[in-house]
Amino acid sequence: MKKYYIETWGCQMNEHDSEKLAGMLSNMGYTSCDNKKEADLIIFNTCCVRENAELKVYGNLGQLKPLKKNNPDLIIAVCGCMMQQSHIVEYIKKKYPFVDLIFGTHNLHNFPVLLANCRQSDNMIVEIWDREGEIVEGIPVIRKYGIKSFVNIMYGCNNFCTYCIVPYTRGRERSRKPDDILNEIKNLVANGTVEVTLLGQNVNSYGKTLDNPIDFADLLYQINEIEGLRRIRFMTSHPKDVSPKLIRALKECDKLCEHIHLPVQAGSNRVLEKMNRKYTREKYLKLIEEIRKAVPDISITTDIIVGFPGETEEDFKETLDLVEKVGYDNAFTFIYSIRKGTPAANMKEQVPDEIKHERFNRLLEVLHKSVKEKNHALKNKVLEVLIEGTSKNDDNILMGRTRTNKVVNFKGPKELIGKFAHVKITEPKNFSLYGELI
């Protein structure tokens, strides 16, 4: 039996695409392995949202050359968002000629045919579609976890935030039909899934491209009815599209977890406008207030970029101020990275690296204070966790996730993995929670 090894960079969208690759490979008789040296096929599923994501891919690609020498039958395939950029494909062709197959995000479903062609050819096969095609349903999927599953509800993005490459790598926004989504989830639940994460670059605009449009809140109400499903999460919501109806759904759908990831990106109106985010700090803060009014204990996380072109010290202070005002449970923080082909790449006044780093560290300080406060506020609280496995650092400690998406470590029998339990938080730390099974 032939073995495959997949390495994935980037967001959940890419993670889920890799699960589809695994599903297709399993149908072709391949089995997975976790050592590149044993593999007959190595796939790199790439991300180009920031420069460091790209650099990691290049570094890892370079290391494959000796493997190819030892095993000339080894097939090396590279796919994902980086491949939707022609300058990157040209670079790979020149610099890594030992790669056998290159394909993109829009023709992932054709992978079996591409692989078959590749096995019969001595030349590198490159097939990239410039544009998205129709949504392809029914791709087999092998999921990483049995109990929690990713489900795409839409693909692509129409927002064109000026720093972001995603609309160029993932194409225009398009939604899956509600029945396809509901049937997929029902099937998953029948096979043991208790938690789904609905995926889309901007889930709030779900439904706009359908013949019989329904909106995201309607979809949530329908998913909430699925028997046997216990938890619903979603990623990502754009603040400009959070409707009062969605806030009502957050309150009314009992399976919807008390967590929302609401990327703010920056706290200054001047920067938000240059980013093309289409909301102001005032509107964002109001939104947070309304969400908290509807669901008081909701945890709120965000994405923040520092050093966007033209960001002044004053602008940056507004970001710090907003972070303090909101009091986030957690945040992904990024240093602005120039992405070729995006409007911001051509903006004058790029912020020097030292200033970006200095601001980044100051942001972390303010953020960590808020994360710590949120964690410490949970002391002695009893929370429901879904036990996902054992702790990364200690195989004797169980790891579960709360509805608010916080990781809790605690002692307990391994038979509990995959089940729900209640845990009392006894030891909140700055970045993690420890508790006792009750």
Question: What are the residues binding ligand SAH (CB under 6 A)?
Answer: 49-50, 163-164, 166, 201-202, 236, 238, 263, 265, 303, 305, 334, 336-337, 339
45 close to 29: Cβ distance less than 8 angstroms:
no
Instruction: Dig out the tokens for 21 from the structure.
Output: 């690759």
Q: Enumerate residues 6+ apart whose C-beta is below 8 A from 142.
A: 19, 22, 23, 26, 32
Q: How far is the CB of 388 from ligand F3S (least distance, A)?
A: 22
- Residue corresponding to tokens 């020097």: 352
Kindly give, in sequence order, each residue whose CB lies less than 8 Å from that of residue 219, ignoring residues fewer than 6 positions away.
Answer: 153, 178, 181, 198, 206, 207
Query: Which residue in 57, 61, 78, 166 binds ligand SF4 (CB under 6 A)?
Result: 166
Nearest-5° angle of CA 261, CA 264, CA 266? 155
Question: Which does residue 10 bind out of ligand SF4, ligand F3S, ligand SAH, none, counting CB within 5 to 8 angstroms by kind?
Answer: ligand F3S
| Contacted by 81, from ligand SF4, ligand F3S, ligand SAH, none: CB < 5 to 8 Å by type | ligand F3S
* Residue 88, CA distances (Å) to 49, 51, 322, 393 in order: 13, 12, 37, 37
Q: Please count the helices (runs of H) and the strands (runs of E) in the chain.
A: 13, 19
Cα gap 114→107, rounded to integer Å = 10
339 versus 403: smaller Cβ distance to ligand SF4: 339
Nearer CB in complex with ligand SAH: 115/304:
304
Pairing outcome for strands 407-411 and 397-402: antiparallel
Asked if 425 touches ligand SF4 (CB under 6 A), the answer is no
What is the 3-state composition of the chain as percent helix, strand, coil, each rounded to the nearest 5?
Answer: 40, 20, 40
- Name the segment binding ligand F3S (CB under 6 A); options: 8-16, 85-93, 209-217, 417-425: 8-16
- 49 or 77: CB nearest ligand SF4: 49
By the rule CB under 6 A, 81 interacts with ligand F3S = yes
Name the residue number minimizing CB distance to ligand F3S. Answer: 10
Least distance (Å) between residue 41 CB and ligand SAH: 28
> Min. distance of Cβ 263 from ligand SF4 in angstroms?
7
- What does 167 interact with, of ligand F3S, ligand SAH, ligand SF4, none (CB < 5 to 8 A by kind)? ligand SF4
Taking CB under 6 A as the rule, does residue 201 contact ligand SF4? Answer: yes
> 234 near 197, Cβ under 8 Å?
yes
Nearer to ligand SF4 (CB atom), residue 161 or residue 257: 161
CA 338 vs CA 45, 199, 274, 275, 394: distances in Å = 21, 26, 15, 13, 39
Least distance to ligand F3S, CB of residue 96, Å:
19
Strands (E) in 81-180, as ranges, are 101-103, 125-127, 148-152, 154-155, 174-175
Selected from 20, 148, 230, 238, the binder of ligand SF4 by CB under 6 A is: 238
Span interacting with ligand SF4, options 142-150, 158-166, 390-398, 400-408, rule CB under 6 A = 158-166
337 binds, among ligand SAH, ligand SF4, ligand F3S, none (CB under 5 to 8 A by kind): ligand SAH
Stretch that binds ligand F3S, among 35-43, 124-132, 163-171, 374-382 (CB under 6 A): 163-171
Name the nearest CA neighbour of 67 among 28, 39, 102: 39
Residue 90: which residues within 8 A CB-CB, separation 6 or more?
Answer: none
Question: Using the rule CB under 6 A, is 265 a contact of ligand F3S?
Answer: no
Window 15-54: residues binding ligand F3S (CB under 6 A): 47-49
CA neighbours closer than 13 Å in the CB half-sphere of residue 45: 22
Q: Which of 16, 106, 170, 403 binds ligand F3S (CB under 6 A)?
A: 170
* ∠ CA 181-184-187, rounded to 5°: 150
Query: Which residues are near ligand F3S by CB under 6 A?
Result: 10-11, 13-14, 47-49, 81, 165-166, 169-170
